[in-house]
Structure 1
Amino acid sequence: MELHCDTCGRTRTFQRPPCTDHPRATCPDRACTACGSAIVVAPVILLMDRRPRVLLHRAA
């Protein structure tokens, strides 16, 4: 799979690294084959906005 590597500054080949801590057989993360930089895929629950919601009310 070819992706843009921020460390190399160009399009490089990325491969799955060995993954022993992931519950599935395949790891979702990728590593650049040229420099070793990683793209870490976080679970969706970590990407959610956890700030408290602000409710706006109209003046009566």
Structure 2
Amino acid sequence: MTGMELHCDTCARQRIFEQPACTDHPRGSCPDRACTACGAAIVVAPVILLMDRRSRVFVKRHERQRRERQRREQQRRAA
């Protein structure tokens, strides 16, 4: 296992983090890292969970519709 130096919140300083052995992960190795000094863990989320998978056209249309609803609501309140 090779370690990487990351900031440990528990130790409040730069520490070496290593990849622990993982028996419940399908590929046998966890994507997570553990501090070698105190054992604090950093959970690494898969990239696919961090991405917005909607198309840009859908997002822009949604934003335009939301602005229109807000504008109509403001006009209704003013009347």
Report the TM-score, using the length of structure 1 for normalisation.
0.69
Identity rate, percent: 73
Instruction: Identify the range of structure 1 (18-27 vs 28-37) with the bigger mean alpha-carbon deviation.
Output: 18-27
CA distance in 1: counterparts of 2:48 and 2:5, whole angstroms? 27
Partner of 2:6: 3
Matching of residue 24 in structure 1 with residue 27 in structure 2? yes
Partner of 2:42: 39
Q: CA RMSD in A?
A: 2.4
Of the two, which has the highest radius of gyration?
2
Which secondary structure does the structure 1 equivalent of 2:64 belong to?
coil
CA displacement at 1:25 relative to structure 2: 3.2
Partner of 2:55: none
Partner of 2:64: 56
CA displacement at 1:44 relative to structure 2: 2.8
- 5+ residue gaps in structure 1? none
Report the TM-score, using the length of structure 2 for normalisation.
0.56
CA displacement at 1:40 relative to structure 2: 0.7
Amino acid paired to 1:21: D
CA distance in 2: counterparts of 1:15 and 1:44, whole angstroms? 20
User: In the comparison of the two structures, how many residue pairs are matched?
Assistant: 56
4+ runs of 1 displaced by more than 6 Å?
none
